[in-house]
Amino acid sequence: MERIELHSDLSFSRIIHGHWRLADWNYSVKRRIELIEQCLELGITTIDTADIYGNYTCAALLGEALALKPELREKLEIVTKCGIKLANEDNGVRLNHYDSSTVHIIESVEQSLKNLQTDYIDVLLLHRPDVLLNPKEVAEAFRKLKQAGKVKHFGVSNYLPSQVDMLNAYLDVPLITNQIELSALYREHFENGVLDQCMKENMPPMAWSPLARGKLFTGEDTQAIRVRKALERAAADMNAQTIDEVAYAWLMYHPAKIMPIVGSGKMERIQAAVHALSLKFSREQWYEIWVASRGKNVD
């Protein structure tokens, strides 16, 4: 498995396993352990989760598996997120909202450590841009967590370049990644400077929803149909078994070192993403999918 260096002491597997829907899979703890082990056998060592996933349940499901087989922890890089509060009777929150305060970030990390049953997090991300974000408060939280050894590195998710620049100006250590939505159907971050900044600052991005929430397979709008046909042509040319392999490979062809997050609990889908690493695009093939997504030729 190819590895992507994010820092001198940290690298991720090129393919990342996403746990957004871990609770939905309804796996026994034994099956959860098996799934982690199967991913490791494929070379996938990086897991992406968040405090709110599964209405605050997914991290604990992962933690239960790690507690039963603790030797797995040192083989993994765990990414988690904070900064969103969901309306919930148990925690007294009436309205979904963002919170990037020092207090919330530290409390969220403490709870994540407890849920994950680990004593450190490899990378903590701020989940969404907070309109009320005070960079001094974020910097204070990051500093305390780093000094305590509870979080090794920090990043953001869904941030625009101006927001990354603003936050970086206050931090003792630079952000190392930006987790963003990217797919053959969602091109916004190819064009708005986000990927340009990732390359400029040497912060390889993680790509969520790389299959456009399944629209690559089932979408019936004209863009989805065009792109699906282009993916099918590319799959035939490259002897790929499925179009999801081509969709992952298309993202990874970009020089920003994009790391797709595979949010499936089915091994055949995870294996398809790994097989994408062996597919080789030409520029013309890559642009055929780009043009299909755009709906018009490049100028």
Please list the pLDDT of the chain residue by residue as tens digits (299 residues).
999 999 999 999 999 999 999 999 999 999 999 999 999 999 999 999 999 999 999 999 999 999 999 999 999 999 999 999 999 877 788 899 999 999 999 999 999 999 999 999 999 999 999 999 999 999 999 999 999 999 999 999 999 999 999 999 999 999 999 999 999 999 999 999 999 999 999 999 999 999 999 999 999 999 999 999 999 999 999 999 999 999 999 999 999 999 999 999 999 999 999 999 999 999 999 999 999 999 999 88
Q: What residues are annotated to the active site?
A: 53
- Position 103 in a domain: yes
Q: What is the DSSP string of 215-248?
A: HHHH--SHHHHHHHHHHHHHHHHHT-SSHHHHHH
Rounded to two decimals, what is the model's pTM?
0.95
- Provide the domain count of the chain: 1
* Domain assignment present for 2: no
Is 199 a member of any domain?
A: no
The answer to whether position 14 is within a domain reads: no
Domain of 162? 21-176
- Domain containing 164 — which CATH number? 3.20.20.100
Check residue 88 and give its pLDDT. Answer: 80
Query: Rounded to whole angstroms, how far apart are CA atoms 264 and 259?
Result: 15
Is residue 118 one of the residues assigned to a domain? yes
Confirm if 122 and 77 have CB atoms less than 8 A apart.
yes
Determine, yes or no, domain membership for 278: no
Token pair recorded at residue 43: 């070379």
As a whole number of angstroms, the distance between CA 120 and CA 77 comes to 10
Q: Is residue 146, in this structure, part of any structural domain at all? A: yes
